[in-house]
A and B are shown apart, each in its own frame.
Chain A
Amino acid sequence: MTVLDAAVKADESVGRFTAFTRDTIVKSNEAVNGDYRLLVVSAPEEILNCTPGQFFHLLCPSEGADHPYLRRPMSIYGYDRARGELQFLYKVTGAGTRGLATLTPGAQLNVFGPLGRGYSIAPDHSRIMLVARGVGLATLAPLAQQARDQDCELVAVCSARSPDMLLSVDLFRDMGAKVITLTDAEGTSGTQNLQHVIEAEVEGQGVDAFYTCGSNRILRLLQTLSRRFDIPGQIALEQQMACGLGMCQCCVRSFDRGGRFVQERVCREGPVFDLQEALSC
């Protein structure tokens, strides 16, 4: 299938529309550690009006026996309007990401977005905490920039299997965050120690809001602490998607809204949801 030419209606559609189908050009696509790769593409300005936690729907190339038909949702690792750049951090797990891994500098990648509802930092919050593990740290990376832009202190609690699997740590430090790393290899990433670390921050300098992504274990812990200390929170969730825009009703998950269970579309009402409403699965 041919895809929409980048130039078609690019000018008149900006401002009126919020998501765009555009060809981007791969700048680099390198392994950052044993599991993850960083894809950097040059992107037109109109698709860089992003919010942390939003995602793009990628048209992954076919390679060998792989023919990904549907687009693949990918959270934004970084966006830079000044440099005209979009970044994705991904792990090769299936036909779509195997295709992404074959992209070399100069190649085209068709993207659709930005999509979904991202994280928000309340204007009166002055110290927030993000807690994430593994690739979840990629989704939370743009939040660090947002926190700095809003003059809000950030504590980043980063968990991973081993120190070399800790993603985004340098990025968080560059943004002035206080970074706490916990790993399985060092025996520091267990739920109990994680709880101690979070409690120490809450009871010490204080935390105005929690931000997380993915992990059920972290979700349950943060929900408990959020209730105990009366601290609000937000979580980005995943679900398999087809359209990415809200039309197909594929990506629904259940949420607890004041004791009533409701289904919401992860692509449209999310992917970022209220921490207390999310249900672990």
Chain B
Amino acid sequence: MLSLETRIGALALKNPIMPASGTFSEDLADVLDLGALGAHVTKTVTSETRNGNPTPRVCEVRGAMLNSIGIPSKGVAHFLDHVVPFYSQFDVPLIVSISAGTADEFARTCAALDVPGVAGIEVNISCPNLEEDGKAFAMRPSTTEAVMQKVRGATALPLWAKLSPNTGETTEVAQAAEAAGADALVVCNTLLAMAIDVETRRPTLGNLMGGLSGPSLKPIALRMSYQCANAVDIPIIGCGGISTVEDVVEFLIAGATAVQVGTATFIEAGIMERLIADLRAWMQAHGVSSVADLVGSVRDQEAGDGMLLAEGVS
């Protein structure tokens, strides 16, 4: 009997397909059955209201897009009154993505969201650290650990740390998050990038720089998921450029226990539902009966030492 069920620590998911934060909202209920998804992951919420960045907030590059949305947020109070009740109609774990400028504010925001109906917190540590010159928390093991320790002290809910590709210390950051009490890692957020209009010589995004997402990011996110899966004992949730069932399977083989689908939803709004069906068909065709049989099944023993040592995989 084929089963798509997967497990992220204490959370049992009916399938491994869920949205990536920032590419999902209640609005998608106009298009697909939100009850079919493995989990619901909200857009990042901050304690206070935020307007977000100037427009243009998005531009496209070859095979990908850049965004500098800037985390517009209506604040935690609005979120508790309007967003949490909406998702309570579904039998799907609700994961709330949070962000803050300091570790203490992360903890306060996390505590405020520890309410019935919220199944877990995704800690978006890829955002700028206001106390560290705007460098993202997830760029360094020390700042990652500082935030994760604080939020761990604020809730007993499952905590997912969302890592950033903008670091040279992928495994160290992953291990720091694990040591501080993260229950899972989401790998990864967008890659800092830029585009310039050569006619006007102006940066294409209103905020000058932004995060790259879409198929171009996939090999990087896959490499990081593989590295993290080898470096920690907590589950990995793969994220970055996933748009086909082969992408989903590839992340599972690399070591992810579930995946997040983001930018692909902008191109094909119903893609998550299709990927669930396609995954079932793929597993059937390949004689695979459970997601767990795929997770971490990469045959990497024959790989050369040079490849493994390239960024310190132990």
User: Which A residues are closer than 8 A to B by beta carbons?
Assistant: 1-4, 8, 17-21, 59, 67-71, 112, 239-253, 263, 268
Name the residue of chain A whose CB is nearest to the CB of B52.
Answer: A249
Instruction: Tell me if B268 and A245 are in contact (CB < 8 A).
Output: no
Name the residue of chain B whose CB is nearest to the CB of A253.
Answer: B55
A257 to B43, CA, bound (A): 25
Instruction: Tell me if B55 and A252 are in contact (CB < 8 A).
Output: yes
- Given A4-B268, A17-B32, A112-B269, also A250-B67 (CB < 8 A): yes
Name the residue of chain B whose CB is nearest to the CB of A65.
Answer: B62
User: Which B residues are closer than 8 A to A by beta carbons?
Assistant: 22-25, 27-28, 30-32, 43, 51-52, 55-58, 60-65, 67, 69, 72, 214, 243-244, 264-271, 274
CB distance from A187 to the nearest CB of B (A): 32
- What residues of chain B lie closer than 8 Å to A251, measured between beta carbons? 55
CB distance from A249 to the nearest CB of B (A): 5
Instruction: Tell me if A248 and B69 are in contact (CB < 8 A).
Output: yes
A1 to B64, CA, bound (A): 13
CB distance from A56 to the nearest CB of B (A): 12
- What residues of chain B lie closer than 8 Å to A71, measured between beta carbons? 266-267
- What residues of chain A lie closer than 8 Å to B52, measured between beta carbons? 249, 252, 263
**DSSP class of B's interface residues: helix, strand, loop or mixed?**
loop
A253 to B269, CA, bound (A): 23
CB distance from B55 to the nearest CB of A (A): 7
Instruction: Tell me if A240 and B55 are in contact (CB < 8 A).
Output: yes
- What residues of chain A lie closer than 8 Å to B24, measured between beta carbons? 247
A21 to B30, CA, bound (A): 11
Name the residue of chain B whose CB is nearest to the CB of A8.
Answer: B274
Task: Give which listed residue, B30, B32, B65, B244, contacts A1 with CB less than 8 A.
Answer: B244
- Given A69-B267, A248-B69, A252-B72, also A4-B274 (CB < 8 A): yes
Instruction: Tell me if A70 and B60 are in contact (CB < 8 A).
Output: yes
Name the residue of chain A whose CB is nearest to the CB of B274.
Answer: A4
- What residues of chain B lie closer than 8 Å to A241, measured between beta carbons? 58
- What residues of chain B lie closer than 8 Å to A69, measured between beta carbons? 60-65, 214, 267
A4 to B243, CA, bound (A): 12
Task: Give which listed residue, A2, A21, A242, A263, contacts B67 with CB less than 8 A.
Answer: A242
14 extra A-B contacts, CB within 8 A, seeds A242-B266, A251-B55: A4-B270, A18-B30, A19-B30, A67-B62, A68-B60, A240-B56, A240-B58, A245-B27, A245-B269, A247-B23, A247-B27, A248-B23, A250-B58, A263-B51
Instruction: Tell me if B72 and A242 are in contact (CB < 8 A).
Output: no
A243 to B55, CA, bound (A): 15
Chain B CB within 10 A, most for which of A59, A240, A242: A242
Instruction: Tell me if B58 and A248 are in contact (CB < 8 A).
Output: yes
Instruction: Tell me if A247 and B265 are in contact (CB < 8 A).
Output: yes
Instruction: Tell me if B31 and A20 are in contact (CB < 8 A).
Output: yes
A71 to B265, CA, bound (A): 11
A247 to B57, CA, bound (A): 13
